[in-house]
Structure formats: C-alpha cells, structure tokens
Structure 1
Amino acid sequence: MNKILVVLLFLMGQVSGYAQPFRSDSLLRVLKGELTRESLYERQKANRIARLQLTLLHTDSTRFNARFNLYSAIFEEYHSYKFDSAFVYVQQLTALCERFQQKDSLARSTILLGTILLNSGLYKEAFDVIEKMDTAGLANRLRSDYLVLRARLYGGIGEYDNDAFFTERYYRKADEDYNSADRLTPPSDFEHTIDLAFIPDSVKQKHLTPDFYYHLITNRPMPAHNLAMVAARLSFAFSGEDRLCFIILAAINDIRSCTKETLAVFLLGQELFKMNRTNDAFLFMQEADRNAVFYGTRNRALQIESMLPLISAKLVDEKQHQKDKLLIWFLVSLIVGGILFFLLVIYRRQMLRIKDSEGMIREKNAELQRVNARLWESSKIKEELIGLFFKTCSSYIDMLQTATRETQHYIKLGKYNEVLRLLKNMEIDREKGNLYKMLDSSFLTMFPGFIAAFNALLPEEDRVWPKPGETLNPTVRIFALMRLGVTGNEAIAKILDYSVSTIYTYKARIKSRALVPAIDFERKIMEIEFIGI
C-alpha cells in the first residue's frame, strides 16, 4: 500500500497538484481543501457557460453544425452540473436536429436526454424516451451508446427496487445489453484494462494492483470529470483502504469539474460510515445532499435521506458517549480531587503536628542545653569551690598542727607565757579576711564581669563599687554568694559572719533601688555570665 501511495503522489503531482503522500487521510485533507474552493470552480464554470451562450446568441440560426456544437458544449457543461438547465438545452438540441432532419445527431441528442433523465432518477421517462427511438440503421457507436444507456437504466431500476426477484431480472437484462454493446464496439485498450480490475483475484495478473491503476488513470491525460468516473468505477473493484482512496480521488475530481451528480461523495459518505468515521461521513453526506438538491437527482436524494438519519443518530450517540466519558472523567477527577484534598488536609495536619513537635523538641533541646550549661557551670563552680575548700582546710590544718606542737612543747617546759603569746599571734580576723580575699579572687576568676553586670542593674547614684584594695565589698559579696548558688539568708549569714537580719536588710535595700522589678532582680543576678577557668 505504501508503494501505491508514493506512485500516486508522483503522478497526481504531475497531473493536478494533489496532496502528498497518497493515503486516505492525506487525500481527505485534499478533498476538504477542494470543498473550500468549490465556489471558485463554480464561478469558472459559470464564466465558461456565459461565453458559450454569448457565442450561441451571435451564431446564425441556419448554421446547423455551429449551433449543434454550441448546444452540445453548453449541455456538456450542465450535463453533470444542473439537471433543469441540461434538460432545456438537450431539448433545444433535439429540436435543432429535428428541424434539420439529422437522424444520427437526433439519435445522439435523444441518448443524451435519456442519460440526464437517468441521472435525475426519472427512470420511466428515460425508458419512454429510448423506446421511441428508431435504432434501425444507426452506426455501431450510436447503437452501442443506446445499449449502454438501457443497461444503465436496468441497473438503476434494479438498485432502486432492491428486491430479490425483480432486481435480479433487471441486472440480468443490464448484463445482456452491456455484452451486446461490447460486441458492437469492442472496448479500447484502456477500457479493457479497466475491465480487468474486476476479474477474480485467482486469475488476475499480478501486475494489476491498485498501484498499477493509480498510475494508469492519473498518468493518462483526461478531463477531471472522466477521471472521476473512472476512479469511481475502479472503487468497486477493490476494498478497504484502496477502495476508499479511489472514491476520494473521484470526489476530488467531481469538485474540480463541478459535478453535482453526487455519486462519488455519496459513496464516500457510505464508506466512511461503514468504517465508523462518523464525523467525516456526516460532512460528506451533507455535501452529497446539497449536490443532489442542486442538481435535482431524485433517486440519489432518497438514498441520502435514508442514510443521513442513520449517520446523524450515530453521530449523536458518539457525541453523547463523549459527553458521558467527559462526565465520568469529571466525576472521577472530582472524586480523586476530593481524595487528594482530604489527603492534603491530613498531610497538612500531620505537618502542623510535626512542626509543633519539632518546635517542642527545639524548645526541649534548648532547655536541655540551658540545663546542661547550668549543670556544667555548677560543676565548674563546685570544682573550684571544692578545690578552694581543700586548699583552705589544708592550710588551716597545717597551722593548727604547728600551733598544737608548739603549745604542747611550751606546756611541757612550763613556759605558759609563751603559750599565751602563741595564742595571741593567731589573729582570727586576719585569717577571716584572707579567706574572704581568697573566695573573692576565685569568684572573680569565674565571673570576671560580675561587678560591672551587677552595677548595671542599679541606677548610677546607687551603684556599689569596691574600694581601692578591695576585691569585693560586703554588699557585692552577698550577691556573689547567691550567684554561686548559696541562696538561703542563714547560709550566707554564717559564711560572712553576719546576722540573718543584716543579710535581709542588704538584699532588700539593693532590690528596692534596682532598675528591674525586685521579683526579677535575683533572676538577673543568676543570668550573669559564667566564664569558667
């Protein structure tokens, strides 16, 4: 099939500029394009007819041959285009032949009259016309045309009746007339080759393929109308894609020749309908209906009117099916969308919960970090204080041991005055001061910015700074012990050798003057940064 299409492309490109490549879809696009140019071809035909009519008007009525040729040319323009006009001119042609008593020309015009009556579906009238003909003495060519016309009439009536008994009789008579016509005028080589397409495949020569016939008819110079007729006839010799291509080819040339008999486009609509290509079938069947009305083809109009409702109903069913599919798709999409929305809501809630959990975890981690920092700070402070404790205790134990030995020695020797002198040399206040200095020094090592941070909590005029030579004064020392974790007033009083009321008074006085609320003052003290050792 691909080879057929390529050959058809080449040949049609040479002959008439057809589309490419030659597949049915491509040919359909060409046909649809030709439909848009239909009015152009009709204007061209109208111009040709107008020129012929003008020439006829100026032709002497006594010149038989000139007027016969002009009537024939005008009739030929109307022959497949418009029945009413063709009927008028063939009657004038017949009258001309009768007036000049031209028997052969009269026979030819009568056959033409029968032909257009046949095309219009007026079978009885066509039979009445040919039955009145005097066929005696006619040339073989005219008698052959007469027999072909009668065969076509029998075939048309048989197709119209569509009856198992009568149709068979009409078809048999048609075959007899065709055979008689062939005996009178044997077909030409071209006609014989066309006839070979209809022999059974079992005896058909291998080269008689659709490709061959495409090449044959498109490479042979012939008018568009003749090409359409040959292509339409060949379509009955093939099936499937090949048949469709020949029918489309015939329909294209029908449009180019302004043929309105509608056979090719009607067959195309039928074939597409069988192939379930309903949209295209409806389009071309409507075109066939317009052509039938325009030309006046009664029999074809009846066939089209019987087909159009079927195609329309199927088209409506397909549209409804598409709507149903669209509705189902919409409902499924709606359900899926609802499910996705539900999942999205659940996902969002889960994400919010995760975020909340992450926030709690971050808060817990921060709190743990603060706790760990405080634990590390407390651990370092304890290490420092324990070290200070053991160092101080060791110093005082050494001092007590020395004092004990000396006292025992002086007592044994009876030197009691020396004992008193030794006891007087042990200055408790000085040792207490040394202890405070040692404590202050260790504290400032751990909190070097404590004094400045402490005073930053007080107004300028109430700030407490150590005097020259002091590390910490009593007031600052109280809050220093609080920073070390000694919060009880009694514990602070014992360490500093103050009364509990004195400690309370110091603390109350400082808090009352602070820049922050009294309730927050101790918290601010505990927030003073620990540097470590």
Structure 2
Amino acid sequence: MKIYLILICAILFPAGMYASVNDSLLNKLDLAIASKQYYYALKANKITALKNKLTGTFSREEEYTINQQLFEEYRKFRIDSALYYVTRNIELAELLKQPDLQQRATLQQAHLYSSTGRYLEAGKILDRIRPAELPRGLKELYFEYYYRLLEHYTTNNVNEAYKRQIEVYRDSLLNILDPATDTYKINLAQHYLYHNQVGKADTLLQELLGKISSSKDDYAMVTYLIGEIFTNKKMYDKAEEFYTRAAIADIENAINDHGAIQNLSINFYYSGNIDRAYRYAKSALEDAIFCNVKFRTLIMSEFYSIINAAYQEKAEKNRRQLKNYLVLISILSLFLIGAVVYVYRQMRRISRVKETLLQTGRQLEQLNGQILQANEQLRSSNDQLQESNQVKQEYIAQFFDICSSYIDKLENYRKMLNKHAIAKQFEELSRILKSTDFTNTEIQGLYRRFDLIFIHLYPDFVEAFNGLLLPEERIMLKEGETLNTELRIFALERLGITDSVRIAAFLRCSISTVYNYRTKARNRSAVSREAFDEQISKIGRSLGSFQR
C-alpha cells in the first residue's frame, strides 16, 4: 500500500514542478487549523439547538424530522453520531408505517456504513433496494450513495471495473437530477473529468464558483475539483491555491470528511516543505479519526507515517546543526570574553580621567531631574484642572437639560393622571400607578444619557479599560450598547465617585453587586490591584484634547 501511494503521489506531483501558494492564503489555512475548536464549538451549538427540540412533548413525525436534521449536521462531522439518529429514524419509520421514510433512513444508513469502511454491510443494504420502485427523490439518494460506496472502496482498492461502474451510477443519477441544480452540475463536471473533457469541466466549475458562497458545502467540492483540473494541466501553483481554498472552507464549516488538505500535504512533501506537509497530514488524520471516515484514515495513516519519518529526520538534522552552532558560539564566546576583558581594562583607565566630570554631570542631572519633576507635577495639576472644568461644564449643562426634561415629563404625567382621575377611570389609574414602566424607561434613558456624556468626555474609556484586563477577560459590548453595568461602575470611579453606596444607588443595584464587580475586575486585570486603580483614574483625554 505504501509503495502504491508513493507512486501515485510522484505521478501527480513530479519533483521540481511546485510553486508557492499565496502566503496569505496559507496563513489563513494555518489560522483555520489552529481555530478548529472554535468551528467545532459553532457546530456543537447548532447541534445542541436541534437536540433541545427533542426535549418535551413531540410527535414521532417531528422526531423523525429533527433526527434528519441532526443526520445532516453530523454526517460529515462525526459519523457515529449521525448513524445513531439514522438508526432511530428507521425505528420511527417502522412505527409510523411509512415506507418512504424508512427507505430514506435505510439509504442514509448504507451511506454512513460505506464511509466507516463497512462496505459489505452497505452493499447488502443497497442491493436489497429496488431503485425502480423508489420515488424520484430517493432514487437520487440511491444512485449517489451507490457510487459513493464504490468510490470509498476503490480509494484503497484500485479496480478499473469499479471505476467504470461508478460512472454508470453517476450517469443514472444525472438522468434524474434537475439540470438547474448545483448537485447536477458538480456531478456533470466529475463526469467530464472521468472522460478527460477537462475544458467542459473547467467551464462548468468556474461558473459554479462565481455564485456559490464559501459557507456552503458545495464550495469546497467545487474548489477541490478545480484544483484537480489544474493538477491535470500540470499547473501546480494554481492547484495548490484551490486545494487550500477547499481545505479552509471544509475547516470553517466543521467538515472532517475532506480530501483537499490531504493533497496539499502530499504536494508540500514532494516540494520539500516537510513542516507544512507534516502539519497538514496531522490535521487531516486527526479529522478523519474524529469523524471515523475509515477510507480517509487509511490513506492518511499510510502517508502520515512517511511524512512523520521525514519530519523526524529533518528534526534530527536540525538538532545536529544546532549542536554545531552551539560549539561555534562557545568558541566565539571565548573570544568575546577576552575582548570584553581588554575593553574593560581600557575603560577603567578612561574612567579615572572622567570621574570628576561625571560627578559634576550627576549634580547637574539631579538639578535637571528636580526641575523636570516640578514641571511634570505642574503639568499634571493643570491637566486635572482642565479635565475637571470640562467635566463640570458638560455635566452642568446636561444637568439643567435633564431637569428641564424631567419637569416636562412629570407635568405631562401629572396631567395624564389628572385626566384619568377626572374621568373616574380608577382602574386605569391604579394600573398606571402600579406599573413601573415609566420609571424603568426613565432610568434606562438616564443611563443612556450618562453613557453618551461619559463617552463624549472619555471616548477611549472602553478600549483603555479593556487594555487593563487579560486578553481573554476583556468586555465585549452587545450591539447597541455604549456601556454596561460593570463599565458604568468604573466610569463613576473615573469621575471620582468611589463610594459603593452612591454607585449602587445610582445604578439601582445592591452594594454587594458593586463590590463583586470591582473585585472580579481587579482579579481579571493584567496589572496589580494598586496599579489597576491608579490606571483607572488616569483614563481620559490629555490636556491638549480639551482645547477647542
């Protein structure tokens, strides 16, 4: 198997025929690989939302539909989980006595069996089904899953007869697919490639590429096939580019059944970039094992051992080079030590001459330092006064505006209550008096106004505050938010209001809540507690920024 794999790779990627993919695209792939857990989490959230629908009361039909959705999410992510929901759907279809639903689930089960290497079981299931008796939608699945079974099997067991049979089933699928669908066009492109009609396949795939979003599964397949076309044309730099795009799309969509990154790994191995070959092969093998895609696991486990051996050999060579470098550095260090000793003796001689000048210079430096310190204190005091005046001006103006606005609102509120009282609408009057909507609205309005005034005075407050926190602990505001409760507490501190009682009264929360927010923020800070409090008080504009 290993010899066969090496020969195939050598034919596909002859030595000396490689060009580098755009570094930014490869860097994006490296970032995607490093962020796989993030994309897994997005997929897990989507799956969890579907599973939550299976709690409570639901009908068998509804459970079948949800299980079908879970199958779609899992089938290229984690096959064992997909198999669980398909098996459950077979049971549900039997209970519902709906043959079409049972046949759909059975076809899906056969497809999953073929992906996990259970070829005999998959073949037996498909052979028991009579495609002529299936409705159109299930016929499509039958022909697709049958040629997928043959593809999976021939991946590790090359057989020309099976390849011809794949095309027979693909042709049957093309005969019943809607020509307007992307699925039809992708299968037609593969048909063209099998018959060496590369030009037709390229035209069709380039047309598809222009309209398919990278968030769709078909994008990875289209870019992968374009990569195959460029490989066929011996344009290896372009092939690598499209393999890279396909690999990025697969990882970002949490698809673990993918072949593009395998081709990239092979390509980089034969171009001599062992580090990337090892990294991509390792990633591909991890994904295949996690997904339980047996045919890909077999391919990559064979090739991974080859790459790993080359990687270890390179690492050993680097270690030998490092050892040689260390010896050389040690020798140079001895010369350097001798030079340092010589220079040191010369410097001691010169230092005796300069000692008097240095003492005078130190005295001048001390005097200059004292003057600079006095100037700094004066500048700091001026900054604080300037800032204090600015804050006072802003808040006094806003205070009068708010008071005037609240007087008008209270007058309108009084008139409205009086109107209900005159009309003897006591129930309505009681409802209004019991409701806290007016108060809550005004409080939220007050907070919004406070936020806007404060951010106007200190536009960089949120960014500066987050800069004091550890990167993973930084505050992310929701859409539409200017400040949240935690930021308001420290905004009030920045304004000089440090009393927890006053802060709690303004924010309408308990003193313990204020204390907890303060404590948590200090625990999450990237600096010491004392430095954190000091830096909070320094957040704001410079003196020059207050000048108008």
| TM-score, normalised with respect to structure 1 | 0.52
Other-structure match for 2:43 = 45
Match of 2:297 among 282, 297, 301: 301
Other-structure match for 2:451 = none
Match of 2:66 among 60, 70, 74: 70
Evaluate the alpha carbon distance shift between residue 261 and residue 191 of structure 1 in structure 2; reply closer, same or farther with a 3 A threshold.
closer
Distance 1:333 1:57 in 2: 67
Is residue 113–residue 122 contact of structure 2 (8 Å, CA) maintained in 1? yes
Aligned length: 312
What amino acid does structure 1 have at the position aligned with 2:56? H
Distance 2:96 2:245 in 1: 42
Evaluate the alpha carbon distance shift between residue 55 and residue 184 of structure 1 in structure 2; reply closer, same or farther with a 3 A threshold.
same
Cα deviation, residue 92, structure 1: 0.9
Is residue 39–residue 251 contact of structure 2 (8 Å, CA) maintained in 1? yes
Match of 1:170 among 153, 162, 175: 162
Is residue 24–residue 248 contact of structure 1 (8 Å, CA) maintained in 2? no
Instruction: Map 1:378-389 to 2 at 5 A.
Output: none
RMSD of the TM alignment (CA)?
3.4
What amino acid does structure 2 have at the position aligned with 1:26? S
Is residue 36 from structure 1 mapped to residue 34 from structure 2 by the alignment?
Answer: yes
What amino acid does structure 2 have at the position aligned with 1:220? I
Evaluate the alpha carbon distance shift between residue 148 and residue 302 of structure 1 in structure 2; reply closer, same or farther with a 3 A threshold.
same
Match of 2:133 among 126, 134, 137: 137
- Using the TM superposition, name which of 132-141 and 151-160 deviates more: 132-141
- Mark the runs of 5 or more structure 2 residues left unpaired by the alignment: 1-19, 340-548
User: Which secondary structure does the structure 1 equivalent of 2:229 belong to?
Assistant: coil
Evaluate the alpha carbon distance shift between residue 126 and residue 204 of structure 1 in structure 2; reply closer, same or farther with a 3 A threshold.
closer
Please list the CA deviations of residues 299-350 of structure 1 after superposition, one character each: whole Å capped at 9, or x if unmatched. Answer: 2222222111210111223334444555677788999999x99xx9xxxxxx
Distance 1:116 1:177 in 2: 18
Other-structure match for 1:523 = none
Distance 1:283 1:233 in 2: 23
Is residue 318 from structure 1 mapped to residue 314 from structure 2 by the alignment?
Answer: yes
Distance 2:132 2:271 in 1: 49
Cα deviation, residue 279, structure 1: 0.4
Other-structure match for 1:231 = 223
Other-structure match for 1:440 = none
Other-structure match for 1:125 = 121
Please list the CA deviations of residues 410-447 of structure 1 after superposition, one character each: whole Å capped at 9, or x if unmatched. Answer: xxxxxxxxxxxxxxxxxxxxxxxxxxxxxxxxxxxxxx
What amino acid does structure 2 have at the position aligned with 1:314? A
Other-structure match for 2:256 = 260
What amino acid does structure 1 have at the position aligned with 2:301? E
Please list the CA deviations of residues 10-32 of structure 1 after superposition, one character each: whole Å capped at 9, or x if unmatched. Answer: xxxxxxxxxxxx94422221111
User: Which secondary structure does the structure 2 equivalent of 1:136 belong to?
Assistant: helix
Distance 1:169 1:69 in 2: 38
Distance 1:207 1:82 in 2: 31
Other-structure match for 1:81 = 77
Distance 2:155 2:194 in 1: 23
User: Which secondary structure does the structure 2 equivalent of 1:276 belong to?
Assistant: coil
Is residue 115–residue 152 contact of structure 2 (8 Å, CA) maintained in 1? no
What amino acid does structure 1 have at the position aligned with 2:46? R
| TM-score, normalised with respect to structure 2 | 0.51
Is residue 270–residue 281 contact of structure 1 (8 Å, CA) maintained in 2? yes
Distance 1:97 1:182 in 2: 28
Distance 1:139 1:285 in 2: 41
Is residue 156–residue 295 contact of structure 2 (8 Å, CA) maintained in 1? yes
Is residue 118–residue 126 contact of structure 1 (8 Å, CA) maintained in 2? yes
Distance 2:143 2:275 in 1: 40
User: Which secondary structure does the structure 1 equivalent of 2:230 belong to?
Assistant: coil
- Mark the runs of 5 or more structure 1 residues left unpaired by the alignment: 1-21, 345-533
| Identity in percent | 22
Evaluate the alpha carbon distance shift between residue 92 and residue 320 of structure 1 in structure 2; reply closer, same or farther with a 3 A threshold.
same
Please list the CA deviations of residues 223-263 of structure 1 after superposition, one character each: whole Å capped at 9, or x if unmatched. Answer: 43332233233322222122212222122122222112243
Is residue 94–residue 102 contact of structure 2 (8 Å, CA) maintained in 1? yes
Evaluate the alpha carbon distance shift between residue 327 and residue 218 of structure 1 in structure 2; reply closer, same or farther with a 3 A threshold.
farther
Is residue 189–residue 205 contact of structure 2 (8 Å, CA) maintained in 1? no
Cα deviation, residue 106, structure 1: 2.1
Evaluate the alpha carbon distance shift between residue 113 and residue 24 of structure 1 in structure 2; reply closer, same or farther with a 3 A threshold.
farther
Larger Cα-atom Rg: 1
Evaluate the alpha carbon distance shift between residue 193 and residue 94 of structure 1 in structure 2; reply closer, same or farther with a 3 A threshold.
closer
Distance 1:206 1:228 in 2: 19
What amino acid does structure 2 have at the position aligned with 1:290? E
Distance 1:155 1:86 in 2: 20
Distance 2:95 2:193 in 1: 46
Cα deviation, residue 282, structure 1: 0.7
Distance 1:160 1:98 in 2: 36
Distance 2:185 2:67 in 1: 33
Is residue 224–residue 256 contact of structure 1 (8 Å, CA) maintained in 2? no
